[in-house]
Amino acid sequence: VDLCWFWSKVQSNKLLFLFSAPPQCHVTLLLFILGVSTTPSVHGLDLHHLSKGCPPPRGLNLNQPIKVTLNISGQSQALGKDISKRSLAPWDYSFDMDNNRFPSMIAEAKCRYAHCLDAEGNLDLDVNTVPIKQEILVLRREMKGCTPSFKLEKKMVTVGCTCVRPEVKEQQQ
């Protein structure tokens, strides 16, 4: 029987969490992440209590950074760093930052051209580029009075671009 487990250790004054879990434990891991995210925010301080007149949280060392490393599927496959540039439908990345979301920073791909490149690197006007989208789950932090609450949300993210033949529509007369 596979069990849900995690491993933690203190490394250079940082708490490091490593996860390994079968699919039935993903909710357990998500709840753990929720607990971790109630501690200091990405920048080390949770300032929500200041804007609402709430007392600061007790028992938390707000200057203690926390690093969470997740590998839920048990597999890690990194793409080559230059794949976005070598593609026939190249793309560039921009970053969407939101301190009330976990993860707070999400990379978004944006297709560089409307048309694909040919083998020599020239634009091929017969083939179009389209974004490849992936739906991800994020945690949204909301303050209810002085108590932080978390809501699981779906977010559509562009992860790359690909080439497609143009759609041809016949005009009706």
The closest alpha carbon to 159, from 86, 88, 97, 79, belongs to 79
Looking at the structure, tell me whether residues 70 and 93 fall in a common domain. no
CA 104, 56, 12, 15 torsion: positive or negative? negative
Say yes or no: 10 and 44 in one domain: yes
Q: Kindly report the CATH number assigned to the domain that includes residue 88.
A: 2.10.90.10
Q: pLDDT tens, position by position, for the chain (173 residues)?
A: 333 444 444 344 443 444 444 555 454 455 445 454 444 444 444 555 555 677 665 554 444 455 556 555 555 566 666 899 999 999 999 999 999 999 999 999 999 999 999 999 999 999 999 999 999 999 999 888 888 888 999 999 999 999 999 988 888 87
Q: What is the DSSP letter of 121?
A: S
Q: What was the pLDDT predicted at 149? A: 86
Residue 171 in any domain: the answer is: no
Residues 6+ apart with CB under 8 A from 61: none
Tell me whether strands 5-11 and 91-97 are parallel, antiparallel or unpaired.
unpaired
Domain boundary pick from 32, 56, 74 = 74
Phi, psi of 12 (to 5 degrees): 50, 50
**What pLDDT does residue 148 have?**
82
Q: What is the pLDDT of residue 170?
A: 86
pLDDT tens-digit profile of 25-61?
A: 454 455 445 454 444 444 444 555 555 677 665 554 4
| Residue-number span of the structural domain to which 25 is assigned | 1-74
At 6, the amino acid letter reads: F
Closest CA to 58 of 38, 73, 77, 74: 38
Q: Are residues 104 and 53 in the same domain?
A: no
Amino acid at 127: V
User: Of the residues 21, 56, 74, which one is the last residue of a structural domain?
Assistant: 74
116 and 59 in a common domain: no
**Domain count across the chain:** 2
Residue 139 confidence (pLDDT): 93
At residue 74, the pLDDT reads: 56
Q: Among residues 74, 90, 109, which one ends one of the domains?
A: 74
Cα separation, 97 vs 125, in Å, equals: 34
The three-state DSSP-derived secondary structure of 38-88 is CCCCCCCCCCHHHHCCCCCCCCCCCCCCEEEECCCCCCCCCCCCCHHHHCC
Same domain flag for 94 and 149: yes
pLDDT at residue 1, as a whole number: 34
My answer on whether 61 and 89 are in the same domain is no
Q: Are residues 3 and 69 in the same domain?
A: yes
40 belongs to a structural domain:
yes
